[in-house]
Amino acid sequence: MRRAAHGHPNWLDIALDSLSGTRGEELPSPTGLAGLDPAAPAAAPAALEWRIHLASRQPGRAAAAVAILALAGALGYAVFAHLPGAVMTVAVLLSAISEFLLPITCRLTPEGAARRNGLGRSFIAWKDVRRCGVDADVLRLSPLPAPSRLDAFRGVSLRLPTDSAERERILAAVRGYCGW
């Protein structure tokens, strides 16, 4: 890749690389997951899958959410005066709270990381991961080299279990797959 006079890649070369499917220069590897020792990467298992159900942790809120969905369906039927309007109202609200109400299934494989929740699916290949971060209970895998406003739309956010042993096993597998 050619470089402009200031030493950074030319924007046109970057655009041409993205159109041709080449990846240009490789970015330097991150120093590791936040708060973890990135020393020797652990050997990654063939596949690792876990399920998180946030509603089961807070049954009172789950009952309230279901009651609100039922009320919205009844109001949708009253306003639209036919069943498809009520069903669409409930479907739109359910999609908004699906991460809380429906189970989240996360899977790590040698190909990449995947997340399923209701009808939503997301996947990122390990070769595309440029940045990892661990928040309180979420592992974020991003194709972007630096934090950006696009983080909410790119990459995969995997919910981590509350069990510390299981959490460490998952983070060790991510280190093994990413080589960090």
Domain boundaries, the chain: 54-100
With cut-offs at 50, 70 and 90, classify the pLDDT of residue 45.
Answer: low
Q: Which two tokens stand for residue 30?
A: 């991150």
| Phi, psi for 20 (deg, rounded to 5) | -80, -10
Residue 20: pLDDT over 80 = no
Task: Specify the range with the lowest mean pLDDT, choosing from 32-41, 52-61, 76-85.
Answer: 32-41
> Cβ distance 155 to 142 under 8 Å?
yes
**Average pLDDT, stretch 2-26?**
39
pTM for the structure as a whole: 0.67
Q: Give the position of tokens 């970015």.
A: 27
Determine the pLDDT at residue 37: 43
